[in-house]
Amino acid sequence: MAHAASYALRGRPDTLRVFLTASPNTRTERLTTDTKQLAKLDANRADYLKRFYDIGVEQSHDYDLVLNTDRLEPAAAAEIIAGLATAR
pLDDT at 50 (0 to 100): 95
Q: 86: alpha, beta or left, given left = phi > 0 and alpha = psi -120 to 50?
A: alpha
pLDDT bracket for residue 32 (50, 70, 90): confident
pLDDT at 2 (0 to 100): 60
Whether 35 has a pLDDT exceeding 70, the answer reads yes
For residue 54, what is the domain's CATH number? 3.40.50.300
Exposure of 29 in the CB half-sphere (CA atoms within 13 A):
6
* Total domain count, the chain: 1
- pTM here is 0.80
Q: Tell me: the pLDDT tens digits for 15-29?
A: 899 999 999 999 988
Distance from C-alpha of 14 to C-alpha of 4, rounded to nearest angstrom = 17
Q: Tell me: the pLDDT tens digits for 63-85?
A: 999 999 999 999 999 999 999 99
One-letter amino acid of 32: T
Whether 3 has a pLDDT exceeding 80, the answer reads no
Whether 1 has a pLDDT exceeding 80, the answer reads no
Question: Residue 4, class by beta-carbon neighbours within 10 Å (0-12 exposed, 13-18 middle, 19+ buried)?
Answer: middle
Cα–Cα distance list, 55 to 1, 28, 50, 52, 83 (Å): 19, 25, 5, 8, 29
pLDDT at 33 (0 to 100): 80
Q: Whole domain around residue 17: which residue ranges? A: 5-87
